[in-house]
A = this chain, B = another copy of it.
């Protein structure tokens, strides 16, 4: 993602890192004011380029948001992978999911809004697939019907994150703690869950 561009001259033209900077600024702005609060022109102003510069990199608004979402899925996949690494089970993956969604809110807000994105973008699809694979691997080994149990776990953490981000959850504790409590309802902390029914 972050292309390093060896670069000598002044900053007039050829900003040097525009694409990455636009993506970061976009995520920041969305986190602060939602997707509808993101204006391409304001974004350009923020980064210090002309109002048409973003169009060169992303084509249009959908292109920009698609890149933000792809970035988000890649980061989520990284986080899930890290959470699964040593002795982390489904519970740790769930907490990582919620942590990402609440900490990297700007990107998360865009990731599940297909109406705003170019669903056929190759980068987006690849990142989505990587994140999905991490989710599947985290949910592997749960008792009962794998599909249903996995979907339930995903729904649980996704719903908690969404509700939290919307301010609907009344809890003074930090998100991770709430996530741990809530997720424990489904996935007891121990790696080998006991109570299989159905």
Q: Which of A129-184 contact B (CB under 8 A)?
A: 144-145, 147-149, 151-152, 154-163, 166-169, 171, 178, 181-184
Whether A167 contacts B34 by the Cβ 8 Å rule is: no
- For A37, the chain B residues whose CB sits under 8 A away are 115
Main SS at interface, chain A: helix
Is A113 positioned at the interface, with any CB of B under 8 Å from its CB?
A: yes
Flag if A116 contacts B156 (CB, 8 Å).
no
A37 vs B144: C-alpha distance when bound (angstroms): 41
A181 CB contacts on chain B under 8 angstroms: 145, 148
A93-B24 Cα distance, complex, nearest whole Å: 41
**CB neighbours of A35 from chain B (8 A):** 36
Q: What CA separation (Å) do A75 and B76 show in the bound complex?
A: 35
Number of chain copies forming the complex: 2
Bound-state Cα–Cα, A171 to B151, Å: 10
- Across the interface, A34 reaches (CB within 8 A) one of B116, B145, B157, B168, namely B116
Contacting pair B148 A185 (CB below 8 A): yes
Say yes or no: A155-B160 contact (C-beta < 8 A), given A113-B34, A116-B36, A148-B182.
yes
Q: Is the CB of A163 within 8 A of B158?
A: yes
Complex Cα gap A178–B152 (Å):
10
Q: What is the bound-complex CA distance between A34 and B15, given in angstroms?
A: 35
Complex CA distance for A158 and B22, rounded to whole angstroms: 32
User: Can you spell out 23 A-B residue pairs with CB atoms less than 8 angstroms apart?
Assistant: A34-B113, A34-B115, A36-B115, A36-B116, A37-B115, A112-B166, A113-B166, A114-B167, A144-B185, A147-B171, A148-B182, A151-B160, A151-B178, A152-B186, A155-B155, A155-B156, A155-B157, A155-B159, A155-B160, A157-B159, A159-B159, A162-B162, A188-B197
The 3 A-B residue pairs whose C-beta atoms are closest, nearest first, are A159-B159, A155-B159, A158-B159
